[in-house]
């Protein structure tokens, strides 16, 4: 169970965080949250689709596999991709609020990356923050700001009726069948039919480029399927 605490250089002076990637460190996940400002980096490596959160809102996620706990970019050598989404990169840290409501860096003390025996130190011997912690603070701020943009972006997509649900049926070489359902993507025909005023509105609000990045990301399904077939073949 997570145990969050506001990070400080007194109580947590000896903490270290493992920065390598692997199943042991909690990276065996099927997807991760992303946000419009990150789409440019994500779209060249992973499909970006939308899923419903517990409150019914739609959130963009980068897909790593076709079933729960499957990360097809993860192997014994680590994470096989040039870019790890920020919502994964930031772990085991998160932004929490201090008593006066100010955003502060928190850490999950129960996360498998956290300990005192191995990993990268968070603080210098005399109490200053390490370069790694400074880097993570920047990641958290960018992630925090980016996720705040998501509702406005989704609202624009819904306003122009640009989202549709889809189902992907996948049959692998060994006969195993998988169905990817419950996700949403951009309706390309409706996008192509938008009039000049609608396109101008989306461009003015900074959404148009992100929409095209979403569409471009769908070509990464070919790579994801190929990875799934190779993984099954290697396991056979």
For the chain, which residues make up each domain, given as ranges? 4-235
Binning pLDDT at 50, 70 and 90, where does residue 98 land? confident
For residues 162 and 68, what is the distance between their CA atoms, to the nearest angstrom? 27
- The pLDDT score that the predictor gives to residue 106 is 93
- The pLDDT score that the predictor gives to residue 173 is 64
- The pLDDT score that the predictor gives to residue 230 is 86
Binning pLDDT at 50, 70 and 90, where does residue 174 land? low
Kindly tell me if the per-residue pLDDT of 175 is higher than 70. Answer: no
What is the average pLDDT across 30-59? 96
| DSSP secondary structure string for all residues of the chain | ---EEE--TTTTTT-EE--S-SGGGT---SEEE--GGGHHHHTTTS-EEEEE-TTS-EEEEEE--SSTT--TTEETTEE-SS---HHHHTTTEEEEE-TTS-EEEEEETTSTTEESSSSEESB-TTSPBPHHHHHHHHHHHHHHHHHHHHHHHHHHHHHTT-EEEEEEEEE-TTS-EEEEEEEEEE-HHHHHT--HHHHHHHHHTT-HHHHHHHHHHTTHHHHHHHHHHHHHHHH-
- The pLDDT score that the predictor gives to residue 103 is 82
What is the average pLDDT across 179-199? 94
Average pLDDT score over the chain: 91
What is the average pLDDT across 164-183? 81
- The pLDDT score that the predictor gives to residue 16 is 95
Kindly tell me if the per-residue pLDDT of 168 is higher than 90. Answer: no
């Amino acid at each position: 169970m997570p145990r969050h605490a506001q990070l400080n250089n007194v109580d947590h002076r000896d903490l270290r965080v493992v920065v390598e990637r692997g199943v042991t460190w909690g990276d065996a996940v099927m997807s991760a949250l992303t946000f419009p400002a990150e789409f440019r980096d994500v779209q060249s490596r992973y499909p970006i689709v939308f899923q419903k959160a517990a409150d019914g809102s739609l959130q963009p996620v980068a897909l790593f596999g076709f079933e729960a706990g499957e990360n097809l970019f993860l192997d014994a050598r680590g994470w096989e991709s040039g870019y790890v989404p920020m919502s994964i990169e930031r772990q085991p840290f998160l932004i929490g609020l201090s008593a006066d409501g100010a955003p502060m860096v928190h850490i999950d003390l129960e996360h498998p990356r956290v300990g005192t025996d191995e990993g990268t130190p968070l603080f210098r011997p005399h109490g200053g923050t390490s370069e790694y912690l400074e880097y993570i603070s920047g990641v958290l701020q960018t992630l925090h700001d980016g996720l705040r943009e998501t509702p406005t972006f989704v609202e624009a997509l819904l306003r122009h009726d640009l989202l549709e649900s889809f189902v992907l049926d996948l049959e692998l070489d060994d006969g195993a069948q998988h169905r990817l359902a419950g996700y949403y993507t951009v309706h390309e025909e409706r996008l192509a039919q938008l009039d000049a005023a609608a396109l101008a509105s989306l461009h003015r609000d900074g959404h148009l480029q992100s929409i095209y990045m979403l569409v471009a990301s769908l070509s990464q399904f070919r790579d994801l399927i190929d990875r799934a077939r190779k993984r099954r073949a290697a396991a056979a």
